[in-house]
C-alpha cells in the first residue's frame, strides 16, 4: 500500500521537475515591424565609419565612438564661444592660443560648416582625462543659434588619428539632427 503512495507522489512530482533546460541554445529569426519608436529613439542621423564602434552615450558625449585601441570620437555641445573652446583644445596640446579662427579651414558639418582644428603632441589632460604623449586631435567646431556650440572631436594616438581623418570628415558632414 505504501509504495502506491510513493508512486503517486513521484508521478505528481515528475511533470513539475522535468522542466526544459533553460540554458539551451536558442535560434533567433523573428523580427518586429518598424514603429514610431524607431523614429524617436535616436536624436541624430549619421553615417559612421565601418571601423568605428558606437559605445554608450554619456552626459557630455551625445554620439560616442571608439576606434582602434584608444581612439575616441564624439559629438558634444559646449558653452562659451568658438574661440574660447578652440583655444582650450590648443592649450591641451601645448599650443599657443589664437586671436581669430580665420586661419582654420571651414568644412561641412551637421548641415552647415564648422572650423577644422588639428593639433598633436603631448596631451596635458583635463576634463577628467589623463595626460598622454604623442597624442592627436582633429575636431570641428561650429555655433548653432546664439549661444550653443557644437563640436565633433577625435582624439587618440597621433598616427591612428591621422589615419582616421577622412573617416572623421565624412562622419562630421553626415551628422543631421532629427
Partner 1 sequence: MAKSSKSFLAKVWRVLSGYEIAVVTMFLLLILTWLCTLDMADRGIYTTVHAYYDIENFFVQPHYKFNPLPLYLPGGFWVCALLTVNLICGGIVRVIQYRRKGLHKYIGVLLAHFSMAALMISGAITSIEAKHAHMTVVKGETSDYAQRYTEHSIEVVTYDDAGKHAEPLVIPSERMQWIKKNWENTRLFEFPDLPFDLEVGGFRRNAVIVPTKSEAPVSAEGQFEVDGVFLKAVFDESQEEANSGGCYVKVIEKESKKETYLILSTAVFHPVTVTVNDTIYGLRMLREIWPMPYVVQLDETEGEYYPGSSKPKSFMSEITRFKGEESRSFHIEMNEPMRSDGYTLYQAKWANPEGAEPQSTFEIVTDPASRWPEYCLWVAMVGLCIHFGTSLAVFVMRSTKSKSTKQPTTKQSMTQQGGAE
The site for partner 1 (CB under 8 A) is made up of 1, 4-5, 8, 16, 22-37, 41-42, 45-48, 50-57, 66, 128, 130, 174
Q: Shortest gap between Cβ of 57 and partner 1 (angstroms)?
A: 7
Reading the block at residue 76, the C-alpha cell is 558634444
Q: What is the CA radius of gyration of the chain?
A: 27
Q: Which residues pair with 71 in a beta bridge?
A: 67
Q: Shortest gap between Cβ of 90 and partner 1 (angstroms)?
A: 24
| Nearest Cα to Cα of residue 151 among 37, 56, 72 | 72
Q: Shortest gap between Cβ of 6 and partner 1 (angstroms)?
A: 11
Which residues are CB-contacts of 144 (< 8 A; sequence separation ≥ 6)?
110, 112, 150
Q: Which is nearer to partner 1, 56 or 145 (CB)?
A: 56
The helix (H) or strand (E) run that includes residue 88 is helix 82-92
Q: Shortest gap between Cβ of 168 and partner 1 (angstroms)?
A: 15
Q: Which is nearer to partner 1, 45 or 159 (CB)?
A: 45
Q: Which is nearer to partner 1, 24 or 103 (CB)?
A: 24
- Distance between CA atoms of 129 and 59, rounded to whole angstroms? 15
Q: Which is nearer to partner 1, 81 or 174 (CB)?
A: 174
Q: With beta carbons less than 8 A apart as the criterion, state whether 54 and 176 touch.
A: no
Q: Shortest gap between Cβ of 82 and partner 1 (angstroms)?
A: 27
Q: Which residues pair with 74 in a beta bridge?
A: 64, 153
Q: Which is nearer to partner 1, 21 or 102 (CB)?
A: 21
Amino acid at each position: 500500500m505504501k509504495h502506491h503512495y510513493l508512486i503517486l507522489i513521484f508521478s505528481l512530482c515528475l511533470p513539475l521537475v522535468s522542466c526544459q533546460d533553460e540554458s539551451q541554445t536558442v535560434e533567433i529569426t523573428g523580427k518586429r515591424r518598424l514603429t514610431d519608436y524607431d523614429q524617436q529613439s535616436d536624436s541624430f542621423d549619421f553615417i559612421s565609419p565601418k571601423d568605428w564602434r558606437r559605445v554608450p552615450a554619456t552626459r557630455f558625449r551625445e554620439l560616442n565612438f571608439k576606434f582602434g585601441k584608444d581612439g575616441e570620437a564624439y559629438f558634444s555641445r559646449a558653452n562659451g564661444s568658438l574661440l574660447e573652446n578652440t583655444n582650450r583644445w590648443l592649450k591641451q596640446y601645448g599650443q599657443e592660443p589664437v586671436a581669430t579662427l580665420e586661419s582654420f579651414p571651414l568644412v561641412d558639418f551637421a548641415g552647415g560648416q564648422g572650423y577644422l582644428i588639428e593639433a598633436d603632441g603631448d596631451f596635458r589632460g583635463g576634463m577628467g582625462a589623463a595626460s598622454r604623449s604623442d597624442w592627436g586631435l582633429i575636431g570641428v567646431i561650429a555655433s548653432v543659434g546664439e549661444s550653443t556650440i557644437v563640436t565633433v572631436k577625435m582624439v587618440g594616438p597621433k598616427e591612428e588619428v591621422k589615419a582616421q581623418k577622412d573617416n572623421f570628415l565624412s562622419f562630421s558632414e553626415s551628422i543631421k539632427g532629427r
